Amino acid sequence: MGDSSTPSVPPTSTGDNGKLSTLPQLHRYVTGHNAAGEAIVHTHNDFEWKAYDADQLSFSVAYTTSEFPPDLNGDADVATHDRVMASGALGLVNPHGTVLRCVDFAPGYACGMHRTQSLDYGIVLEGSVDMVLDSGESHVMKRGDVAVQRATQHQWVNRSKTEWARMMFVLQDCKPLTVGGEVFGEDLGTNSGLPPSGN
């Protein structure tokens, strides 16, 4: 991946489905059933990426659900996911459902402090990422470490000057959170370009 003297941030890519980082492309396998009820791969494709924040942050949404429990009959969930993605209105959270999202962070990048109205599982796949909370707490997360974000104000920081970092997130809509009589809803902070989730 890059050397110790120069950042490994390539120019904006038009190939590789919009991937910006030097990290490997990822692939999605969606399973299903054939007419005999046997398991098959319904869909297989490369992750598709969208750049944010001057190409320092890149998102890929691998899958969404829009109800719980989801309806898999007749591939209803696949059709619903396709409609959600085609709408262009998906925020960080999908109301009444889930979002599986991969995020690449450029060397030295810190996203804005933000809160989602959701219960999130965030797993570090590549590199090291600092989880910074609005209380001032900061924790270094290494590959394989998991953050369970429970509608808290937080930011992600890649402190490496040369290497991209990658996390995978599962965001699940949650009921409105009240702490000390105050309701804490979504706060996108300085994350420009992201629509509100509407939950």
What is the three-class DSSP state of 191?
coil
Say whether pLDDT at 1 is over 70.
Answer: no
5 pLDDT band, cuts 50/70/90, is very low
User: What distance in Å separates the CA atoms of residue 153 and residue 45, rounded to the nearest whole number?
Assistant: 34
Say whether pLDDT at 11 is over 60.
Answer: no
Exposure b/e, 1-28, CB count within 10 A at least 16 = b: ebeeeebbbeeeeeeeebbbbbbeebeb
- Residue with structure tokens 């890649």? 158
Say whether pLDDT at 10 is over 80.
Answer: no
Say whether pLDDT at 7 is over 50.
Answer: no
Q: What is the pLDDT of residues 118-133, one digit of tens each?
A: 999 999 999 999 999 9
Mean pLDDT of 9-36: 82
Say whether pLDDT at 70 is over 70.
Answer: yes
Q: Which CATH superfamily is domain 16-174 in?
A: Jelly Rolls (2.60.120.10)
Which secondary-structure segment (H or E) carries 63?
A: strand 57-65
Beta bridge partners of residue 32, listed in sequence order: 40
Say whether pLDDT at 13 is over 70.
Answer: no
Q: In terms of DSSP bridges, do strands 138-141 and 39-46 run parallel, antiparallel, or are they unpaired? A: unpaired
pLDDT value of residue 192: 61
Contact 17, 47 (CB under 8 A): yes
**Bond before 195 cis per omega within 30 degrees:** no
Where does residue 135 rank: exposed (0-12), middle (13-18), buried (19+ CB within 10 A)? exposed
Q: What is the pLDDT of residues 76-89, one digit of tens each?
A: 999 999 999 999 99
